[in-house]
């Protein structure tokens, strides 16, 4: 036992608030990093927009599109977009890919309200859009909130029309109405999960009839506006992906400006960290790979989700370009599944087990396992992997904490970790603790955002 330390200092694990552990220079770096993060949030409110924003940032940082079959050298910076909804990026390292790659993986889809294939209707001279919610959202939180409409309409001629309605100053916004309290006596008796049925999440889009029309004149007026602006007709909405998302920009929260409030921070807060860290990585020992994927919120399914073979194909191609074998590469790789965790909320203390909850300002949260009940659906990283990551983060002065998502048997959740681990890749969850996760407005601490970025850099640059 070291002479100059007390027994308590030597033996006890005593984490401290990050703000007392970092100096003013690091506080400034943290603040600067978060300005870039807030811009990323405002640019990317759907997975497609996040891919576009990521590609623009990557190209500005010297990345170029990867071409299957090309030979790659250490220091090469490439990216590969999967169907406009996911992107894989890599910086080729000095070592062979057979010694493994360092993977930072996050998802860029967030809970939202998708429009149904036949969304537009008129009722009582008001025009509405029918929605089908995407991901685990609490329906009561989405009423009486200003909304924007983002997405694409794919035409039969192959053209894809992009829509972004409500993002610019002065543009109109949309809303789903709630019942007034004066008439809410019956509704208020219902459990929270039943008060707003899914089929009442209908977005109000218009109220003025088209002159000279008798039937569905309000709906027709909306269609004329869509036709004039985007050249689309009602049937085109069948082959569209339009999402209603909250209509506010990322903002500082707290009189001390220590936090950020925004829509879609799960998991763009980690996506930006994983991306920014890769863009700042120049000549890593091992090849560094960042993947930003879709569909995590509905089970990582589909061609653009983490279960898709698209990632395996990309990695097989990358290995071929570097003269390596994908199976050997996977077996020696390390992945940080960069996804958010629940931050301890004293306002809802009953849902958390305080000793094992992540806290705001204590750094990036490591989750050995996620899942539900008896660790169901958890990949449960090995003790050895957790130890390796502890060492890696401590060596790089990254503040970190262990996290478990709330009390056992209170619910649970998953990430892409299990799908990476299934590929024979050692994987640990590591991400930003969030207050009010999946709400239309989520809150994180700036310090935790920055520490997650630092964790990703430590991963990519691990020797
Ligand atoms: Mn997530
Ligand atoms: Mn989520």
| Residue 141 buriedness (CB in 10 A; 0-12 / 13-18 / 19+) | middle
Distance 60 CA to ligand 1 centre (A): 27
pLDDT, mean over the chain: 97
The pLDDT value recorded for residue 463 is: 86
DSSP 84: T
Distance 6 CA to ligand 1 centre (A): 41
Do 431 and 270 touch, CB atoms closer than 8 A? yes
Q: Which residue has the higher pLDDT, 258 or 14?
A: 258
Ligand number, closest to the Cα atom of 269? 1
320-333 pLDDT, tens digit per residue, is 999 999 999 999 99
Q: Give the percent of the chain with pLDDT over 70.
A: 99
HSE-up (13 A, CA, CB side) for residue 246: 23
Distance 87 CA to ligand 2 centre (A): 19
- The answer to pTM > 0.95 is yes
Q: What mean pLDDT comes out for the span 132-160?
A: 97
- Answer positive or negative: Cα dihedral of 445, 36, 257, 24: positive
Q: Which residue's structure tokens are 């007392």?
A: 20
The pLDDT value recorded for residue 4 is: 78
Distance 136 CA to ligand 2 centre (A): 7
Render 33-56 in DSSP notation, one character per residue: HHHHHHHHHHH-SSHHHHHHHHHH
Distance 398 CA to ligand 2 centre (A): 24
Distance 302 CA to ligand 1 centre (A): 17
Which structure tokens are listed for 284?
A: 């890593």
Q: Is the pLDDT of residue 87 over 90?
A: yes
- Asked if the peptide bond before residue 267 counts as cis, ω within 30 degrees of 0, the response is yes
CA 443 to chain CA centroid, nearest Å: 13
Q: What mean pLDDT comes out for the span 7-23?
A: 95
310-366 pLDDT, tens digit per residue, is 999 999 999 999 999 999 999 999 999 999 999 999 999 999 999 999 999 999 999
The pLDDT value recorded for residue 386 is: 98
Q: What mean pLDDT comes out for the span 430-446?
A: 98
Task: Kindly indicate the confidence band of residue 3, based on its pLDDT and cuts at 50, 70 and 90.
Answer: low
Distance 120 CA to ligand 1 centre (A): 31
Q: What mean pLDDT comes out for the span 240-267?
A: 98
Q: Is the pLDDT of residue 1 over 80?
A: no
Distance 127 CA to ligand 1 centre (A): 34
Q: Give the percent of the chain with pLDDT over 90.
A: 97
The pLDDT value recorded for residue 5 is: 85
Q: What mean pLDDT comes out for the span 387-396?
A: 98
Task: Kindly indicate the confidence band of residue 2, based on its pLDDT and cuts at 50, 70 and 90.
Answer: low
Task: Kindly indicate the confidence band of residue 193, based on its pLDDT and cuts at 50, 70 and 90.
Answer: very high
CA 55 to chain CA centroid, nearest Å: 16
As a three-state string, the secondary structure of 130-150 is EEEEECCCCHHHHCCCCEEEE
Burial 117-129, CB ≥16 within 10 A → b, else e = eebbebeeeebbb
Q: Is the pLDDT of residue 89 over 90?
A: yes
């Amino acid at each position: 036992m070291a002479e100059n330390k007390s027994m308590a200092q030597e033996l006890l694990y005593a984490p401290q608030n990050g703000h007392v552990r970092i100096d003013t220079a690091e506080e400034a770096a943290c603040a600067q990093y978060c300005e870039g993060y807030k811009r990323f949030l405002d640019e990317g409110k759907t997975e497609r927009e996040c891919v576009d924003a990521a590609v623009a940032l990557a190209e500005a940082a010297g990345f170029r599109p990867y071409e299957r079959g090309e030979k790659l050298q250490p220091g090469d910076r490439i990216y590969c977009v999967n169907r406009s909804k996911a992107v894989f990026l890599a910086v080729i390292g000095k070592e062979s890919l057979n010694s493994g790659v360092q993977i930072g993986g996050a998802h860029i889809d967030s809970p939202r309200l998708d429009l149904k294939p036949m969304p537009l209707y008129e009722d009582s001279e008001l025009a509405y859009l029918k929605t089908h919610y995407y991901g685990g959202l609490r329906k009561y939180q989405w009423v009486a909130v200003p909304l924007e409409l983002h997405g694409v309409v794919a035409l039969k001629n192959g053209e894809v029309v992009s829509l972004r309605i409500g993002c610019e100053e002065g543009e109109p916004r949309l809303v789903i109405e709630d019942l007034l309290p004066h008439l809410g006596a019956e509704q208020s008796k219902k459990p929270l999960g039943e008060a707003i049925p899914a089929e009442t999440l209908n977005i109000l889009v218009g109220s003025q009839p088209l002159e000279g029309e008798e039937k569905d004149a309000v709906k027709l007026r909306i269609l004329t506006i869509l036709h004039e602006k985007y050249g689309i007709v009602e049937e085109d909405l069948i082959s569209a992906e339009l999402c209603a998302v909250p209509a506010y920009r990322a903002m500082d929260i707290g009189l001390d400006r220590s936090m950020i409030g925004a829509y879609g921070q799960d998991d763009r807060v980690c996506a930006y960290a994983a991306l920014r860290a890769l863009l700042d990585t120049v000549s890593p020992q091992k090849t560094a790979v960042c993947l930003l994927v879709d569909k995590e919120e509905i089970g990582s399914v589909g061609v653009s989700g983490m279960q898709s073979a698209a990632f395996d194909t990309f990695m097989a191609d990358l290995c071929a370009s570097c003269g390596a074998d994908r199976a050997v590469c996977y077996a020696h790789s390390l992945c940080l599944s960069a996804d958010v965790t629940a931050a301890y909320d004293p306002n809802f203390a009953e849902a958390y087990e305080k000793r094992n909850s992540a806290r705001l300002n204590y750094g990036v949260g490591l989750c050995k396992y996620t899942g539900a009940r008896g660790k169901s659906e958890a990949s449960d990283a090995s003790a050895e992997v957790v130890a390796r990551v502890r060492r890696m983060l401590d060596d790089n002065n990254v503040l970190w904490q262990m996290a478990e998502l709330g009390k056992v048997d209170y619910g649970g959740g998953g990430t892409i970790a299990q799908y990476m681990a299934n590929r024979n890749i050692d994987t640990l969850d590591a991400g930003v603790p969030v207050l009010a996760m999946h709400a239309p407005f989520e809150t994180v601490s700036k310090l935790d955002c920055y520490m997650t970025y630092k964790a990703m850099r430590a991963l990519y640059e691990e020797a």
